Amino acid sequence: MLNEIKTETVKAKFLSYSKEEQIKLLELRRILFHIAHLINPSEPLIESLKWGQPSYAMKGGTPVRLDSFGEKQVALFVHCQTHLIDHFRTIFGGELVFSGNRAIVFDVNAPLPEAAIQLCAEAAFTYHKKK
């Protein structure tokens, strides 16, 4: 899956993570690309490195970033000035773990709640279209 990353700085960042973090972050990345394709198959998801983190953006949305988060955890970050995390807390309060108003946190040894992540990614990637 690392061979699918075209931007060298992003690839280097993924290689800097522990093997456990790398596996989980690449799973999250796969989900983000899948949802972006479902939203608009003709618009590519833009992958870059922002603030030292892999970042994913679509026109009309707010970027989503990925990174390690503490020991044995990774996180999906959204812009802290959006209301997305509050919205996600209302919907997935018992299913997802949140950090402040900017992140959803995942244990690297637990399965990802893929359906919840898909809905969160869709909300972020269409944020400005639905506001």
Q: What is the CATH number of domain 2-130?
A: 3.90.1150.200
DSSP code per residue over 43-86: SPPEEEEETTEEEEE-TTS--EEEEE-STTEEEEEE-TTSSHHH
16-40 pLDDT, tens per residue?
999 999 999 999 999 999 999 999 9
CA atoms lying within 13 Å on the CB side of residue 18: 11
Predicted confidence at residue 70, as pLDDT, reads: 87
Counting DSSP H helices and E strands in the chain, the numbers are 5, 6
Give the pLDDT mean for 96-103: 92
65-82 pLDDT, tens per residue?
999 998 899 999 998 778
- Residue 23: CB atoms within 10 A of its CB come to 13
